[in-house]
Chains A and B, each alone.
Chain A
C-alpha cells in the first residue's frame, strides 16, 4: 500500500515561489510515475507535470512550463514541486499522485492510483 504525505497549507505573496513536498512510503519510489496536479477553488483538476525518479527527467504541462520545477530524491523517497512567479490564480490545492504500476513510458502519467491529501497554497498580498 502506497501512501503519499504532503504538508497541509502554505501562504505566499504574489511574485514569490512555493515549494511543496510529497513523501512516499510503500511501493518502489524510483519507478513511480509521480505527478503534480492542482485544483483551484470550485474548479476541476489540472495536470501540471511529473517525474520518474529513476530517470529523473521531468515533464511539464505547457501552461506552467518555465515556472514549474519538479524534482525527486530517491534517498528520502520524496518528490518536490516548486512554482515560481506566483499569481493569485495559482491559488489552489496541489496534489501529488502516483501510478505505482510497471512503468510503460509517458503513458504511465495518465493513471493516478494513489493520491496525497493535498496542500492548499494561497497566493495573497
Chain B
C-alpha cells in the first residue's frame, strides 16, 4: 500500500497569498497517477488536478500541480475567498487507491 503524507496539516494564509501544499508518497507513484481534491464543509470532494499536473474541467488556472515519483505539490497562486478548504492528494495507480491525510487552508 502506498502511504501519502501531506504537509503542513494546516496552512494559515490571507487572500491573495500563495499556497504551497505538499504530498509525499512512501513509494513511487506510477506514471504520476496523482490527483488533488478540494473539499468544503458539508460538501463532497471536487477533483482539481489529475496526472499530477493536469487541471480538471472548469478548474481555474490559479491551481497548478507538479511533481513526480514520490514528491508532489499543489500550488494556489493567489488565494481567493472560496479557496479556503481542505485539500487531499490521492494516488490512483495501484490499489488500494489511498488518500493523504489532508491539508486545511484557513484564513489568517
Q: Do A and B come from one complex?
A: no
Q: A residues bordering B, Cβ < 8 Å?
A: none
